Amino acid sequence: MGRGIIGAMLALALLLAGLFLKDGVSGPPPLRTASAPGMFDATRATDRLARILGDERPHPVDSEANDAVRDRLIAELRAAGLEPRVTDDFICNGSAKARGIACGRVRNVIATMGPAEGRHLLLATHYDSTPVGPGASDAGLGVATLLEVAAQLRGRPLSRPVSFLFDEGEESGLLGAHAFLERDPLARNVDTLLNFEARGVDGPAIMFETSSPNGPAITRYAVAVDRPAANSLSIAISQLIPNTTDVAVLKDAGWTILNFAVIGNETRYHTPGDDMAAFERRSLQHMGDQALAVVRAATNGAAEPAAEGEKVFTDLWGRALIVLPAPVAVGSLFLPLAVTAYAAWRRQAFGRPLLAVLFALAGAGVLTFLIQTAVGWAIAGEYWRGTPILIKLATYATAMLAAVAALAWARWDAARLRAAFWLVFLLVGAALSVALPGASIYFLLVAPPAAIGLLLASRWPAAERIGAILSALLLFALWAPTIGAAETTLDHATMAIFAPLVALVLLPALIELAPLFVRAPARPLLAALAAIAVVGWVATLAAPDYSANRKQPFGIEYAVDADAGTARWLVVNDGAALPAAMKGFEGGVKVPWSGRKRWASTAPVAEAPAPAATLTGTAATPEGRIVRLRIGANGADTILLRGPPQAKVIEARMNGSSRPMGGRDREESEAANRSGDNDFSIRCQGRSCDGATVELLLGNARPQRWSLVGIRSGLPASAASLIAARPANAQPQYNPDATIGVRRITL
C-alpha cells in the first residue's frame, strides 16, 4: 500500500475520531469533591432528594404515594427554615398539540423568602412522577435544585422576594402549573421564572427555552452563569419532540423565563430506571450552579442588565456564551454570502464543484436513510438503544464516504471546491436563518474567515487557505456539540437527518486536505471507507439491541372488555419480536386508550372492573348539546373518556373546572375540531376522579359511541408467567404494567 493511501486513510481516521470528541467535551463539569460555603452542594442536595423519595415508589398525581412524598418535601422545606403553604385545586387543562383534556386534583407546595414587597422571582419544578417510575431525575433533579438553592439563600439579604413552586400533576397534563397561574394570587406578583426539568438522567443541564422576545432572559443568563449550556436553536429542536414542560402553560403570563433540563439517556426517562441508582450528581451540580448564579444575580440589588429584542446565542463547549442581536446576525450573513458568490463565479465553481458539494450532502442523507431502512427491515425495534455509538460510527462513516466520493468526482479541485462549499454553506444559512433566526449564529461565527480569505486571495494567496482552515475549525467547534445534543434529543431513529450535517462538518476539512487525497488512488480509498461503513452497520446489526443501562421499552397489560365479556393480554414495546415464551401474540392491534398499537393474545376473564358512567342529563344548545354524567372509577387510577371525531367536543367540565378542547379558548377548540380524524379524549387521574361529575359541550346533536376506560397500575396474579418471560433488559416506559377495564357508552 502506497504512502498516499496510508496518509489519506490516517487523515480520515483522525477526522472520524474527532467527530466523537463532541460527546466528551459537551458533558457537565466534573463533580466537586467538596463545595465551599456559598456554593451549590450536590451531595447535600442528593441526600435531601433520597429522603423525599423514600422507598422510591412511583408517586403519580393525587395518590397516597404522592401524599407521602409531599409530606417529606414539606419537612425538608421546614428544615431549610421555610414555612410552606399547600394549595388544593381540582383543575382541567387542554393541549394545543392534541385533541385532549386532562383533569385531576393537585396540591401545590409553595414557599417564599426575602422581603414582603416586590416582584417575585419564581423557581418552579414538579414533585409528582409518572405511574411507571420513581422520577428521581424527572423532576427530582428540580426538587433537589430548589431545596439546595433555598438553603444557600437562607439568612442572606435579598433585594426581592424569591418563591419556590413545587407543583403536582405536571406528568398528567401540566395541571399544577395551570392551577397556579389561574388560581394562585402569587402568580400576579411574579415577573421572572426559572423552571427545572429532565428528559433523561445525565448530561449537562441545558438552558433550552426562554420567553419571547428572549433578550431580557438570555442577557441575565449570560451575565450570571460561568459554565453555560445553551443555544438559540434549542427551542426549534424542542418543538420537534412530543414532550412539554410547565413552561408551556406558564409562558402565557408574560414573565421573563429560563427553562433548564437534563436530556442524556432518554431510555431511562419515564421508566423504573429513573431512580437514585442512575441519578447523576454532576448533572445536578451543573443545574444547581446555574440556578444559584442566576438567582444571586437577580437578588443582589444590582440593576438588571439592559436588554431587549431577540438574541441569537450559543455556548462554546460550555466555557463561554456568545450573544448577538438577531437582526444583526441575520443581516450580517449577506456580506460574506456576496463575497463567496463572487469568488465562486470568478473561479467557475458553479458546475461540477457546486454539484459535488450538493451531492455530498444529499448523498449522505439518502444513503444513510436507505441503509437504516434496510437495517430496520432486518431488525425490528429500537435496535440502536444498547450501543448507540455503533450507529453513530456507521452514520459518520457513511457520510464521509458520500463526501469523499463527491469530492473525488470533482477531481479534488480545492480552489473551486472551497468557493463552492462556502457558497452552499452561506446559502443554506441565509435561507434557514430567515425561517429560524436562532440558526444564524452557527453560520455567522463560522464563515467570515473563509470569506475574508477569498477576498484577499488575489493580493495574499496564503490568506485564502488560512481563512478556510480557521472556518473549518470553527465549524467543528460550534456544530459538532450541537449535532450531538440534537442526536440525543431526537433519538437515533432519525440518523438520516444528521448524516448531511456530519457531511457539512467534514467537507471543509476534506477540501483543505485535498493535496493529500490527490496522491491517493480513489478506488482503494473509497473501498476502504465503504468497508468501515459496512463494519459499522454490521456491528450495529450484531450488537445487543439493549443493555442493563439502556433497556427495551416493554409494558404488559391485562385488558377486559366488559361489554363482550372477553379479555386479552397486551404487550406494548418498540415493535421488536416477542420472546419465544410469549407464543400466540398477534401484532398491530389497536386499543381504545392509546394510539400505539399492541401485541395481543386471548386471556382468561378475571376480575378487572370497568369504570361506570351514569347519565344525569342532556340539554340542547345553539352549538349542539350538553351531556352530563357521573363517573365511578371502580378501583381505577385513571379514567379515560374517548370519543370519535364526529362527537365534536367543544368544551369539557369536570368537578367544576372547565376547559375548551385543544387549549385556551374557543378559537383553539375550533382548530382542534378541524385538526383531523383523531379521537377526542378526556382524562382524569387520581383518587378524586371517583364520583367526578362531567359536563360535555358537543357540537354534534346525534349521540355517538364512546369508550370508557379504567386503568390501574399492576397486573393480576395470572400475569406471572408473562412477567417472567419479559427480557431481562426490558422494562415499561411511559406507561406502567396495567390492568384495564373497558366498556362502551352512548353520549
Query: What mean pLDDT comes out for the span 704-730?
Result: 95
Percent residues over pLDDT 90 in the chain: 75
Q: Rounded mean pLDDT of the chain?
A: 91
Q: What are residue 571's DSSP bridge partners?
A: 556, 599
Cβ atoms of 127 and 168 within 8 Å: the answer is: yes
pLDDT band with cut points at 50, 70 and 90 for residue 675: low
Q: Which of 225-239, 387-401, 699-713 has the lowest mean pLDDT?
A: 225-239
The dihedral of CA 94, 99, 104, 108: what is its sign?
Answer: negative
The neighbour count for residue 527, using CB atoms within 10 Å, is 12
Q: 16-31: per-residue pLDDT in tens?
A: 888 887 666 667 889 9
Does residue 685 surpass a pLDDT of 90? Answer: yes
Residue type, 350: F
Pseudo-torsion of CA 721, 725, 731, 737, nearest 10°? -30
Percent residues over pLDDT 70 in the chain: 95
Rounded to 5°, angle at Cα 203 from 202 and 204: 130
Closest CA to 385 of 86, 145, 729, 13: 729
Q: Which of 291-295, 474-478, 518-522 has the lowest mean pLDDT?
A: 518-522
Query: What mean pLDDT comes out for the span 707-715?
Result: 95
Q: Which of 277-291, 306-320, 535-549 has the lowest mean pLDDT?
A: 306-320
Give the integer Cα–Cα distance in Å for 250 and 22. Answer: 33
Give the integer Cα–Cα distance in Å for 655 and 695. Answer: 9
Does residue 227 surpass a pLDDT of 60? Answer: yes
49, three cell numbers: 432528594
Give the integer Cα–Cα distance in Å for 127 and 141. Answer: 10
Closest CA to 541 of 745, 687, 393: 393
Q: 105-134: per-residue pLDDT in tens?
A: 999 999 999 999 999 999 999 999 999 999
Give the integer Cα–Cα distance in Å for 235 and 173. Answer: 20
Domains of the chain: 3-23+329-542 (no CATH), 53-316 (3.40.630.10), 551-644+679-747 (no CATH)
Does residue 397 surpass a pLDDT of 80? Answer: yes
Kind of pairing between the strands at 624-632 and 612-621 = antiparallel
- Concatenating the DSSP letter of every residue in 644-706 gives -GGG-EEEEEETTEEEETTSSSHHHHHHHHHS-SPPEEEEEESGGGTT-EEEEEES-SS--EE
Question: What pLDDT shows up at residue 520?
Answer: 78
How far from 496 is each of 49, 389, 502, CA to CA, in Å?
Answer: 40, 15, 10
Cβ atoms of 540 and 396 within 8 Å: the answer is: no
Q: Which of 318-327, 351-360, 499-508 has the lowest mean pLDDT?
A: 318-327
Question: What pLDDT shows up at residue 130?
Answer: 97
**SS3 for 359?**
helix
The neighbour count for residue 245, using CB atoms within 10 Å, is 27
Q: What are residue 340's DSSP bridge partners?
A: none
Q: 36: which DSSP letter?
A: -
- 677 or 254: which leads in pLDDT: 254
pLDDT band with cut points at 50, 70 and 90 for residue 663: low
Question: What pLDDT shows up at residue 153?
Answer: 95
pLDDT band with cut points at 50, 70 and 90 for residue 677: low
Q: 252-275: per-residue pLDDT in tens?
A: 999 999 999 999 999 999 999 999
Residue type, 135: G
**SS3 for 561?**
strand
The neighbour count for residue 421, using CB atoms within 10 Å, is 29
Question: What pLDDT shows up at residue 486?
Answer: 81
Rounded to 5°, angle at Cα 659 from 658 and 661: 140
128, three cell numbers: 409528582
- 716 or 519: which leads in pLDDT: 716
pLDDT band with cut points at 50, 70 and 90 for residue 606: confident
Question: What pLDDT shows up at residue 162?
Answer: 98
Cβ atoms of 166 and 147 within 8 Å: the answer is: no
Half-sphere exposure of 346 (CA within 13 A, CB side): 13
- 607 or 476: which leads in pLDDT: 476
Q: 49-103: per-residue pLDDT in tens?
A: 999 999 999 999 999 999 999 999 999 999 999 999 999 999 999 876 678 999 9
Residue type, 425: F
Query: What mean pLDDT comes out for the span 411-415?
Result: 93
Does residue 1 surpass a pLDDT of 60? Answer: no
Give the integer Cα–Cα distance in Å for 314 and 87. Answer: 39
Pseudo-torsion of CA 351, 353, 357, 362, nearest 10°? 40
pLDDT band with cut points at 50, 70 and 90 for residue 623: confident
Q: Which of 88-102, 438-452, 568-582, 636-650 has the lowest mean pLDDT?
A: 88-102
Question: What pLDDT shows up at residue 458?
Answer: 87
pTM: 0.93
Cβ atoms of 345 and 395 within 8 Å: the answer is: no
Kind of pairing between the strands at 730-731 and 552-561 = parallel
Q: 278: which DSSP letter?
A: G
Residues in the chain: 747
Does residue 338 surpass a pLDDT of 90? Answer: yes
Closest CA to 346 of 443, 429, 415, 421: 415
Question: What pLDDT shows up at residue 542?
Answer: 92
Burial bucket for residue 440 (CB in 10 Å: 0-12, 13-18, 19+) = buried
Backbone φ, ψ for residue 603 (5° rounding): -140, 155
Provide the CA 136 distance to its chain's centre, in angstroms. 17
Pseudo-torsion of CA 527, 533, 539, 540, nearest 10°? -150
Closest CA to 717 of 739, 740, 743: 739
